[in-house]
Structure 1
Amino acid sequence: MSNPILLSDGSGVIMRHANFPSCYVTRRHVDVWCPPVDTRKRAVRYPVLYMHDGQNLFDPALSFIGVDWGMDEAATRLMQDECGGGVIVVGIWNSPLRWREYMPDKPLAGLQGRALRTRFAEQAGGEPLSEAYLKFLVRELKPFIDKIYPTLPDAAHTFLMGSSMGGLISLYALIEYPELFGGAACLSTHWPAGEDPLVDFLGAALPRAGWHRLYFDFGTETLDADYEPYQRRMDKWVQRAGYRVGHDWLTRRFSGAEHSERAWRSRVDMPLAFLLGWKAGAAVHLSRLP
């Protein structure tokens, strides 16, 4: 089911699991990047980062605009700078149903969300499919990854990251399955998809502070120009939940940054290091996780 691709720059190995089967969603590729193997440490196991829009992560030829995130390069760079000990990156390709799969479902189920749900269904061609997507992630993909790869499978070492709608589904996955994931990085989160009712629902449902990490950011150009009021609204919820800036929560504003893979590539080191606790002052020790 997988075709290994050995990178020539010494930055690890990518295994492609083509057309990964699922009972919940349509088949899609899953790319898994593993750090370079140290033959002296054959028993080493790694934390895992699950990322959405996986075709945009490693290969510019496959990326949406011809620029990839350079996740293999970012992880290798941080390892070489002695900021951390490695991570496995799982890139889940999106599908033609991306909008529906990444849109949180429950925030649109109540009275406040009905109008938004109707509008979303009209614009996206149907109801949200995020519940099925998350079942694919936690019931099928994560068990497979933990079985095949040398992972640290507990929540303290399992994280999520995405941009735009991928930021929404990353946060939603953390909220729905806090016992499986230890943190989420949400870059340029597309809050306008559900406006204030979406922000308030997710904010009120945040997992308890001290046991998870939250990273948010946004730029000031193109689509990102609309995000700051929503992000500040979410920040109030995060504060209310007891998260502390620089300890288990960061929100960053990048002046002049646009809504693009190029922008996310330029700053991905920051959320990666923060989630994994690889930067001085950025880590919260999650040894208390069940």
Structure 2
Amino acid sequence: MGGLLALLGAMLAAPALAREQAGRFLEYEHVAAAGLPEQRLTIWLPPGYDKGKQRYPVLYMHDGHNLFDPAKSNFNKVWAADKAMLAAVNSGKVEPHIIIGVWAPGRDRYRQYLPQTIYQATSGTPRAAMDAMIEGPVVSDAYLAWLAGPLKQWVDASFRTRPGRDDTAIMGSSMGGLMSCYAFLERAETYGRAGCVSSHWPAADPAKVGPANPELIALWDGWFAARLGQPNGRRVWMDHGTATLDAFYAPYQQKIDARFAASGWQRGRDWESKVYEGAEHEENAWARRLPEVFGWLLRN
């Protein structure tokens, strides 16, 4: 009997141990944010959080519904951000981070992630292409104010975080990549790390913007030139594939890479830009390279 009870106890403990080793998720629905559609959060706490007293750096990620659980995702595929974080931590290069997944607000995603200063500066063909996609006013400035203000204040008050700039990162893909670069440049005092993955530099339908639109390329170049400043310990990762939507990004990214170099940022130390041959614009492609992204961007 004693042996049977011990066996049953071990069987019951195994799932709990597996969950503890995998971290823990928290869900927050119907989150009010001034000037924005209703928001939603999925938060991942790393293994050991509940039993320890240490404080953690924090990674904020856009499109939170596509990060962890395929059943909650748009396309039944995810970044597997929790697993990528565990892999990066196990490599010894990265401290465990709390991940704050901020869901996109459905049809309002585009106007929430489109950098407001870029939209306001466009004209002609790019502006017409953006206007064709917007269903309401652009609210990315309000979104950024909420991310860097009330949301961050709540996270830092509610969890054991290290709230400083160098322990606060932001990351996203596609329009979320644009929004991550926007936050990094506009709130340099808040975000010391940014991951701009497969950033959608055309900022609208590439077929309507036109291939390698010179006006838009010049606009992005001027935008970075005016805001980059010196690295001062900050770090940014940029990348793209070569298939589907990512096939349109190279001319934009090359110009932006040149701007980083001209501004005195050292490649490999302060910034990185990678091209993944054959990679498409989708979550499985991002999941495959996310451990590498974390390993470089969030390294100790």
Q: What is residue 110 of structure 2 aligned with on the other side?
A: 99
Q: What is residue 72 of structure 2 aligned with on the other side?
A: 62
Q: What is residue 133 of structure 1 aligned with on the other side?
A: 143
**Structure-2-length-normalised TM-score:** 0.85
- CA gap of 1:207–1:162, structure 2 versus 1, over 3 A, is farther
The one-letter code of the counterpart of 1:114 is S
- CA gap of 1:13–1:217, structure 2 versus 1, over 3 A, is same
Is 1:104–1:172's contact at 8 Å kept on the other side of the alignment? yes
Structure 2 counterpart SS, 1:175: helix
Work out the percentage of aligned pairs sharing the same amino acid: 36
- Counterpart selection for 1:148 from 147, 150, 158: 158
Structure (1/2) with the larger helix percentage? 2
Q: Using the TM superposition, give the Cα deviation of residue 109 of structure 1 relative to its aligned residue in structure 2, in angstroms.
A: 2.3
- Counterpart selection for 1:11 from 6, 22, 26: 22
Q: Using the TM superposition, give the Cα deviation of residue 9 of structure 1 relative to its aligned residue in structure 2, in angstroms.
A: 7.0
Structure 1 counterpart SS, 2:21: coil
Is 1:117–1:127's contact at 8 Å kept on the other side of the alignment? no
Is 1:121–1:127's contact at 8 Å kept on the other side of the alignment? no
Structure with higher Rg: it is 2
Structure 2 counterpart SS, 1:171: helix
Structure 2 counterpart SS, 1:192: coil
- Counterpart selection for 1:168 from 170, 178, 182: 178
Q: What is residue 192 of structure 1 aligned with on the other side?
A: 202
Q: Using the TM superposition, give the Cα deviation of residue 257 of structure 1 relative to its aligned residue in structure 2, in angstroms.
A: 0.4
Is 2:177–2:196's contact at 8 Å kept on the other side of the alignment? yes
Q: Give the length in aligned residue pairs.
A: 270
**Structure-1-length-normalised TM-score:** 0.88
- Larger deviation: 257-266 or 63-72? 63-72
The one-letter code of the counterpart of 1:196 is I
1:114 aligned onto 2:136: no
Structure 1 counterpart SS, 2:232: coil
Q: Using the TM superposition, give the Cα deviation of residue 84 of structure 1 relative to its aligned residue in structure 2, in angstroms.
A: 2.5
Q: Distance in 2 between matches of 1:236 and 1:9?
A: 45
- Larger deviation: 57-66 or 253-262? 57-66
Q: What is residue 265 of structure 1 aligned with on the other side?
A: 287
The one-letter code of the counterpart of 1:91 is G
Q: What is residue 206 of structure 1 aligned with on the other side?
A: 228
1:227 aligned onto 2:237: no
- Counterpart selection for 2:84 from 74, 90, 104: 74
Q: Distance in 2 between matches of 1:63 and 1:132?
A: 25
Is 1:16–1:31's contact at 8 Å kept on the other side of the alignment? yes
The one-letter code of the counterpart of 1:222 is T
Q: Distance in 1 between matches of 2:118 and 2:151?
A: 25
Structure 2 counterpart SS, 1:31: strand
- Larger deviation: 193-202 or 247-256? 193-202
Q: What is residue 13 of structure 2 aligned with on the other side?
A: none
Give unpaired runs (5+ residues) of structure 2: 1-15, 205-215
Q: What is residue 254 of structure 1 aligned with on the other side?
A: 276
The one-letter code of the counterpart of 1:60 is P
Q: What is residue 100 of structure 2 aligned with on the other side?
A: 90
Q: What is residue 20 of structure 1 aligned with on the other side?
A: 31
Q: Distance in 2 between matches of 1:38 and 1:27?
A: 28
Q: Distance in 2 between matches of 1:183 and 1:221?
A: 27
RMSD: 1.8
Q: Distance in 2 between matches of 1:143 and 1:253?
A: 36
